[in-house]
A and B are shown apart, each in its own frame.
Chain A
Amino acid sequence: MRMYDLPDARGHFGPYGGTFVAETLVHALEELRAAYLEARADAAFQAEFRDELAHYVGRPTPIYHCRRWSAQLGGAQIYLKREDLNHTGAHKINNTVGQALLARRMGKRRVIAETGAGMHGVATATVAARYGMTCVVYMGAEDVERQSANVYRMKLLGAEVVPVESGSRTLKDALNEAMRDWVTNVDDTFYILGTVAGPHPYPMMVRDFQSVIGEECKPQMRELAGRQPDAVIACVGGGSNAMGIFYPYIAEEGVRLIGVEAAGEGLATGRHAATLCAGRPGVLHGNRTYLLQDANGQILATHSISAGLDYPGVGPEHAWLKDSGRAEYVAVTDEEALAAFMALCRIEGIIPALESAHALAYAAKLAPTLARDRILLVNLSGRGDKDMQTVARRAGIAL
C-alpha cells in the first residue's frame, strides 16, 4: 500500500470529509486546525498528553488473551485490547483529555459536548472538572430518560446536562444543538466532539488522540504473541475506537481491518444503524460520508440496542477505508451482540459494553472459520456497567 497520508490539507479523505458548516464556524475551525497542528508538532504538548494518559487515564491498557473463549469457539485466538480499563470506563477519555489540553492552550474556558449513551459526556465532564472548565453537555431527551445514571454522573462532575427536544431527540439532534451553541458562543467556547466525524479537523484530530490504542497494540502483540494479529476488529458507530486501533495498522498490509456496525433488529427490517453496510454518501454534521437517509436526503431514525452505535452517520475516514477496500465493514444484530456479551461475562469474567459486544460477536463468528494459530485482536472499547438496565430489561428483570 502506498504511503497513507490522509486527510489532505482541507480535511478530505478522497471524496469524504471536508468542512460543510455555516460560514460563522469556518473561521473557528480554521483556528482550531492551526492550533491543533501547532500542538501536534509541540513536544511539550505531546509529553503532557502522554503524561495525563499514563497517570490520570491509566494507560497503557493491557491486551488480554481469551484462552477459554477461544478454545470453546474452536478456532482463531481472540485477544482483547482492554480500553474498558481506562478511567471512566471507555476509550472516550483518550480524546477528551487531548481536546481539553488543546482548549486550555487556546485559552477557552468553556467546553461543550454532545453525547448519546453518555460515555462521551461523562468523559468530557471528567476532564472539565480536572482542568477547571465550565461544561455543558447536550443529550437527546430520549437518551436522558434512558441513561439516567450517566446523567447523574455528569452532574456530580459539575456539568450542566441539557436535554435536546428537537428532531428525533437522540444523538444526532444533540450534535445539532451543540453546533448551535458553538456558533452562538464561538469566542469563548471549545466544542469537544466525541467521535471521528464532524467538520475538519475533528475526524483527523480525534483519530490522532485515539490512535494511542493501536500504537500500544503493536509492541504488546509482539511481546504476547510474537507477531501482529491477522485481523483487528472494532465496533463502529461514529467510529472513534475503530479509527484509534485501525490507524497504526493501515500500513500493515497483512492485517485485516474489520469494522462492525449495529444491524439492530436486522438490516432487512430497516431498524438498524449500519451506515456503511446499508447507507449511501451524503453530507451531515460538517462532513461528506455515508449516511442512513431516505430518497429525499432526510436523515433516518436509527436503532441499536447500544446507544453508542445509534448514529445515522459515520466518520469520513471509515467511508474512505471502505471504498478503498482497505477495511471491511460488517454488521451484527442486537441478539448476536447480546449473546457475545453473555459469553464474555460467563467465560472470561469481563462485562463488556454493548457497543464492544458487537465487535466480540463478529470475532465469535469469524474465529471458528480460522485455524487455531490465527489471531484476532478485538478492541474492547468500554465496560458494560452502564448497560445493566438495558440487559436486565431485555431479560425481563427489573433492577
Chain B
Amino acid sequence: MSRIAARFAELARGGRKALVAYLTAGDPAPALTVPLLGALAEAGADVLELGVPFSDPMADGPVIQRATQRALAHGVGLAQVLDMARAFRAADARTPLVLMSYANPIEAMGAERFVREAAAAGADGVIVVDCPPEECAEFAAQARAHGLDTIFLLAPTSTEARIRAVAQAASGYVYYVSLKGITGAEHLDVADVAAHLPRVRAATPLPICVGFGIRDAAAARRVAELADGVVIGSRIVQEIEAAGPYEAAARVKAFLAPVRRALDERPRQGAA
C-alpha cells in the first residue's frame, strides 16, 4: 500500500478528514523548504504538496505567482526540488509527499528520468497541472510503474464522461477544484461544491480532496463535511510571504494548527 493510501486508510479508520498542505519549493529560500515541510507536518498536515517552480504558472493566482518568482530567483528547478524531497524523506518516513508541477519542467528533465528519480527520492505522487489524462497516458503508466500515484484534477466544468475518464486514470486521491478560477481565488461557494461532489463520488472509490479558495479553518471545516480532505495552498504561501524567512515556520504552524483542530472537531460520522 502506498503512503498516500495508507494515510487515507488511517484517517478513515479514525473518522478524520485529510489536511493537504501546499507550498512552493524554494520559497522564500531553498534552505527553508525542508524545514517548512516539517512544520506543516508537525502542525497536522496529512499530505504535503510540493510545488515545482515554473516561469509561466498559468493556473495560479498572484500569491503563488510571486512565490514562484522568488523561488526562480534562487535558481530552483526540478532537480533541486527532488533533492528537497530526498532530504524531507530522510527526516520524515511517514508523511506522504506529492510533487505538483507544470508539464514543461518534467518534459525538460525527461519523464522517465523524472519518475525514476522522484520515486527514489521518496515522493509518493505527482500532479501535473496542465496535463489532463488524455495527454499523459504514457507518463501516468511510467509513474505508476515506479509506485508514484497519479493525482488528477476535476473541476465544476468537468462533464460526467470526463469525470469517469479522470477517475479511471487517477490513483491516490482525486483533487476536486472547488471553483472556476485560479489558485487563491476568493469566490468559494460551498453549496456549489456540495452540488458537484456526488457525481465525483459516484465515479471513484478514491478519496476526494477539495482545494482552491479555502482560506481559513471555518471554510476548511465546511468543505471537509462534504469531502475526504481539503487542500490549502495560497493561504499558506501568503503566511510564508508575510512572515519572511525567520518567522515562516512558526507562522505556518500557527496558521495550520487551528485548521487541523477545526477539521478534527467536526462531529464524528464514522468512517465510510
Contacts and interface: CB of A to CB of B under 8 A. Distances in A.
Interface of A: 10, 18-28, 166-167, 172-173, 176, 179-180, 183-187, 281-286, 288, 291, 293, 295-299
B77 A179 contact: no
Given A183-B182, A186-B180, A298-B72, A293 B108 contact: yes
B56 A283 contact: no
Given A24-B157, A27-B157, A284-B56, A297 B104 contact: yes
B108 A180 contact: no
A297 B105 contact: yes
Interface size class of B (residues with CB under 8 A): 35 or more
A26 B162 contact: yes
Contacts of B152: 23
B155 interface: yes
Interface stretch (B6-14, B128-136, B191-199, B251-259): B128-136
B58 A285 contact: yes
B185 interface: yes
B134 A10 contact: yes
Interface string B52-93: 011111110110010001001000011100000000000000
A19 B56 contact: no
Contacts of A281: 107
A33 B107 CA distance: 26
A251 B158 CA distance: 39
Contact of B157 (A28, A176, A284, A297): A28
16 contacts: A20-B103, A22-B155, A24-B155, A26-B162, A27-B157, A167-B55, A176-B58, A183-B182, A185-B180, A283-B130, A295-B77, A296-B108, A297-B77, A297-B78, A297-B109, A298-B53
A166 B61 CA distance: 10
B177 interface: yes
Nearest to B75: A296
A283 B177 CA distance: 22
B200 to A, nearest CB: 12
A27 B180 contact: no
Contacts of B185: 184
Given A22-B58, A176-B58, A180-B59, 8 more contacts: A23-B154, A183-B180, A186-B157, A186-B180, A282-B108, A296-B108, A297-B108, A299-B104
Contacts of A20: 103, 130-132, 135
B104 A282 contact: yes
B106 interface: yes
Interface string B148-182: 00001111111100100010000000000100111
B interface, over-half SS:
loop
B63 to A, nearest CB: 12
Pairs A-B, 7 closest by C-beta atoms: A297-B108, A296-B77, A283-B103, A24-B155, A297-B105, A23-B153, A22-B59
Q: Chain A: interface secondary structure?
A: mixed
Contacts of B77: 295-298
A297 B72 CA distance: 12
B132 A21 contact: yes
Nearest to A179: B58
Contact of B130 (A21, A172, A184): A21
Nearest to A176: B58
B28 to A, nearest CB: 18
B180 A24 contact: yes
A297 B131 contact: no
B72 A23 contact: no
A191 to B, nearest CB: 12
Contacts of B132: 19-21, 23, 26
A20 B106 CA distance: 13
A297 B56 contact: no
Contacts of B55: 167, 298-299
Contacts of A180: 58-59, 61, 182
B107 A282 contact: yes
Nearest to B132: A26
Given A284-B56, A296-B77, A23 B135 contact: no
B30 to A, nearest CB: 13
B100 to A, nearest CB: 12
A286 to B, nearest CB: 7
Given A19-B132, A22-B59, A27 B103 contact: no
B177 A27 contact: no
Contacts of A298: 53-55, 72, 77, 105
Contacts of B54: 297-298
Contacts of B180: 24, 183-187
Contacts of B166: 23
A176 B135 CA distance: 20
Nearest to A185: B180
A248 B83 CA distance: 50
A108 B152 CA distance: 29
